[in-house]
């Protein structure tokens, strides 16, 4: 059986530029605890959620109004046997104009059902993408994890 990366797709009434800017505003939809820069290719930032999850992301691709991609350069899960399951995976946002709307197709390349964290991680990504990011794009306010 072929590996199946986790994906989620949302559609919004805003422009690709608004979507692109919102995706790059990681503190506005994922976590207020993000440290580091999220602006240009080569930038690295750190995410953590309580003592459960810590990771370092490197911005590896930016195509204005079309694509944002991060490489997970380090990862720690407290709840999996392989603490580094996300390491060397990629998080990709593809932005496409569809008539009067914009579609954002999210893929976490390497987050596959065979991984121990898949159910927990796919549920979390679903909440962040379909809920918080969509709200940030559509209404200007997301619901990121608050500062601890």
Distance CA 39, CA 64 (A): 11
Q: Over the stretch 117-132, which tens digit does the pLDDT of each residue have?
A: 999 999 999 999 999 9
Q: Over the stretch 85-123, which tens digit does the pLDDT of each residue have?
A: 999 999 999 999 999 999 999 999 999 999 999 999 999
> Which two tokens mark 31?
């976590």
| CATH number for position 111 | 3.30.530.20
Is 121 inside a domain boundary? yes
Distance CA 49, CA 18 (A): 27
Question: CA geometry: angle at 125 spanning 120 and 130, to 5°?
Answer: 130
pTM for the whole structure: 0.95
Our measurement of the distance from residue 47's CA atom to the centroid of its chain's CA atoms, rounded to an integer in Å, reads: 11
Is 52 inside a domain boundary? yes
Q: Over the stretch 11-70, which tens digit does the pLDDT of each residue have?
A: 999 999 999 999 999 999 999 999 999 999 999 999 999 999 999 999 999 999 999 999
- Domain span holding position 37: 6-139
Is 145 inside a domain boundary? no
């Amino acid at each position: 059986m072929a590996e199946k990366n986790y994906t989620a797709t949302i559609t919004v009434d805003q422009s690709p530029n608004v979507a692109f800017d919102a995706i790059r505003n990681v503190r506005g939809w994922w976590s207020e605890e993000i440290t580091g820069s999220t602006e240009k290719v080569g930038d690295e930032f750190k995410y953590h959620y309580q003592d459960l999850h810590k990771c370092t992301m490197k911005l590896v691709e930016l195509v204005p109004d079309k694509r944002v991609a991060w490489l997970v350069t380090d990862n720690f899960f407290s709840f999996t046997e392989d603490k580094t399951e996300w390491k060397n995976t990629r998080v990709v946002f593809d932005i496409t104009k569809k008539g009067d709307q914009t579609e954002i197709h999210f893929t976490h390349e390497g987050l596959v059902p065979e991984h121990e964290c898949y159910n927990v991680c796919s549920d979390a990504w679903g909440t962040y993408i379909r809920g918080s990011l969509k709200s940030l794009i559509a209404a200007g306010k997301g619901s990121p994890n608050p500062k601890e």
